[in-house]
Amino acid sequence: MPERIDREQVTKVAKLSRLELSEAEVAEFTGQLSAILDYVEKMNELDTTDIEPLAHCLPLSNVFREDSVKESLGTEKALANAPQRDGPFFKVPKILDESFGA
């Protein structure tokens, strides 16, 4: 069974996801992702000409409620449990640097 996903692709996705994977994990995920793609390819062999496409396997219905204007939570209450604050804002770690061109 030829691998559809190679080690380089797994390593690249891990880097983009900011994951540090060991060599054993890279090998394991390479095999697992290849198996998933093989399964999807096997499903493509099924005849689905008379099958209606579904968005969900069960019938769903939305429950709508009346839109109404309500008092907002307020800055102090919204930030009460924030791990870090910068004045009236949430402080979050920087995730992009100049090398990404953002």
Return the pLDDT at 2.
Answer: 52
**Residue 1: which pLDDT band, with cuts at 50, 70 and 90?**
very low
Percentage of the chain with pLDDT > 70?
91
- Write phi, then psi, for 85 (nearest 5 degrees): -125, 155
pLDDT tens-digit map of 22-56: 999 999 999 999 999 999 889 889 898 898 888 88
pLDDT tens-digit map of 75-87: 999 999 999 999 9
Mean per-residue pLDDT, 55-77: 87
d(CA 89, CA 46): 52
Enter the pTM of the model: 0.47
Which distant-in-sequence residues (6+ apart) come within 8 Å of 28 by Cβ?
none
**100 vs 75: which has the higher pLDDT:** 75
**Residue 64: which pLDDT band, with cuts at 50, 70 and 90?**
confident
Instruction: Set out the domains of the chain in order of their start, with CATH numbers.
Output: 1-46 (1.10.20.60)
